A and B are shown apart, each in its own frame.
Chain A
Amino acid sequence: MPSINNNKVQNFLFSFSFMILLSSCSSMNVTEERVYEGGIKTVEVSVAEVDELDYETKAIFANATVFFEFDSYNLTSKSIQTLKSVVSVMNQNKNIKITLAGHADERGTREYNLALGQRRAESVKDYFILNGINSSKVSVKSYGEERPVASGNDEMSYSKNRRVEIN
């Protein structure tokens, strides 16, 4: 058991509620208070439509997803094979711009996974830049563990979710 500071009843005063405390004698507390119920407003977000890529560009990159080990953002040799083919396509089509979306599996904390997804996407971006792609053609973002493609709670699903999608 941790020790806990004894909170004095007198400290209860809050700007939006009130409480009158009268200590009639040392052994009895007399209190009066009013229930505070502040208003609550619901906000609905209108989600911006995502810019759709034209059909041809989309077809080229449809299968470009690379996968990672748990808590890792290192590119595997299989990933590098995939990225090599993306680089050659980009060299042939100088107008193509790509977005790298990093993802993580559901294990571990959400914010760490968001940062991990970002690191994975940055690893892919670094590879592209090292291979001559202009950094202005590559944008990077992360969804962390929020957008799984496989919903199972097993390593098979997890391995599919630890990925960077190239679009």
Chain B
Amino acid sequence: MKKIFILFLIPQFIFAELVLEITKGSDDPFVIALLSFDGKRALTDEVDVTINNDLKRTGEFKIIKDEKLLSSPSNEEDLDFNEFKLLGIDYIVMGALESEDKFNLSASYEIYNVISKKKIRTSKVFGIPNKIKQLSHYISDGIYEEITGIKGVASTKILYITEIVEEKKSLYELIVADADGANEQVLLKSYEPIISPAWSPDSKQVAYVSFETGIAKVYIQDIATGKRRVAIENTKQISSPSWSPNGNFLSMTMYQDGNAEIYILNLKNNNLTRLTNHYAIDTESSWSSDGSRIMFTSGRSGSPQLYEIKLRKYNSNPERITFEGNYNAKGSYLKNGDGIIFVHRADNDFKIALKYFNENFIRPLTESKLDESPSISPNGNVIIYAVTENGESLLSGLTLSGAKFRLPAKKGEVREPAWSGFLR
């Protein structure tokens, strides 16, 4: 079990609100020599640590640092592949940080395949001096996709809600942060609850539910400008927003006749289409990646279960897709459409669970008592969710390759994480 406390390593990281803690990694990782970046030491330390943590968090790498190597070459000519081969290393990454001028900073890096003894990638990333971590995330993603063939998510972001209990009331904040939990920025502050944050597919807007008028309403906010509006004017409660993959529709739960029913709002012309019609609760809609199906939680069988509707089929009826246990809710489709991730009650505990469509059983993925709000990374490999333990809630992550990590909170409750799309 390895724990990395960034705070004690480098003073620049004191601004980081969340601390990364890796509890378990993959059994068959890529072995990679991550040579220290050349350049000003004060800056390169941050690059080295950030890339190391990004790759570790994926659970797919075993990282060998300079001190464990037989030599530390800084260019191709000094590279003796056999030395690395002896140590069982598959890939070598070396790079340098260059200050172009006061406002520009760039990094170049190269990746070598030890077995084929060939350079397989040479890349350059342009950034700015006070965003070295962001620049490093780009490098991490370049390394990840070169080696695994899958796009990396170190440069993506997460949304979440925090609640800080003050004397008599609570302060709620909608936060956007880098995927490692650092670089937190507040999108919305309110003394009334905020729930259910959701990204637009282009990651430029967020939808959420705010109780600021006294009842739940769905708002859409532009991240860059802060401009916000209610999704649709209505006197009744509206909740649970979810964007269609093409960004043209927002599915929501509306309470027109007092009961929770799912509607689809066309964001171009404000037309509403009713999707469900049942006296039981229907809510928590979410779209499949190809936009052809909507899954939702319904109480129509007597307990919350997941159902799906095929949108492209005429007069399609909801089909039940979970049968195990008496509580299966808040489902999301895997990116490749092979299955679903959801909240499952086992005995008295609420866990995050996975179900593949070609299997007739549920795979529980987590061990705590009150796990909530799973959200899948845009590359489909990582799930982030909220855990409540000893009355405190914080964010945890797990990868489908078997790694687990935590983003513990320092103050207040942290909950309802939502993963952005790709940003690079």
Contact = CB atoms under 8 A, between A and B. Distances in A.
B189 interface: yes
B329 A4 contact: no
A134 B328 CA distance: 37
A54 interface: no
B423 A17 contact: yes
Interface residues of A, number: 62
A50 B283 CA distance: 28
Nearest to A13: B424
Contacts of A31: 121-124, 142
Given A40-B176, A146-B193, A141 B343 contact: no
Contacts of B424: 12, 14, 17, 19, 33, 35-36
Nearest to B327: A108
A144 B260 CA distance: 13
Interface in B171-229: 176, 185-193, 195-196, 202, 204, 210-216, 221, 223-226, 228
A50 B119 CA distance: 66
Interface stretch (A55-63, A74-82, A83-91, A116-124): A116-124
Given A33-B125, A33-B424, A115-B283, A43 B135 contact: no
B189 A4 contact: no
B228 A43 contact: yes
Contacts of B196: 110-111
Interface string A35-69: 11111111111111010000000000000000000
Contacts of B213: 48
A33 B137 CA distance: 12
B416 interface: yes
A74 to B, nearest CB: 12
Contacts of A29: 120-123, 146
Contacts of B330: 109, 111-112
- By size class, the interface of chain B is 35 or more
A52 to B, nearest CB: 13
Contacts of A37: 128, 131, 134
A165 interface: no
A37 B339 CA distance: 33
Contact of B400 (A2, A118, A151): A2
Given A27-B118, A112-B284, A140 B401 contact: no
Interface stretch (B16-24, B267-275, B317-325, B372-380): B372-380
Given A48-B213, A141-B215, A106 B121 contact: no
B338 interface: yes
A114 interface: yes
Interface in B328-356: 329-330, 334-336, 338-339, 343, 345, 350, 356
Contact of B186 (A7, A42, A144): A42
A108 B304 contact: yes
Interface of A: 1-7, 9, 12, 14-17, 19, 27-48, 50, 71, 106-112, 114-116, 118-119, 122, 125, 140-144, 146-147, 151-153
Interface of B: 116, 118-128, 131, 134-135, 138, 142, 145-146, 149-151, 176, 185-193, 195-196, 202, 204, 210-216, 221, 223-226, 228, 237, 239-240, 253, 255, 258-260, 281, 283-284, 297, 299, 303-304, 327, 329-330, 334-336, 338-339, 343, 345, 350, 356, 369-370, 372-373, 379-381, 388, 391, 400-401, 416, 422-424
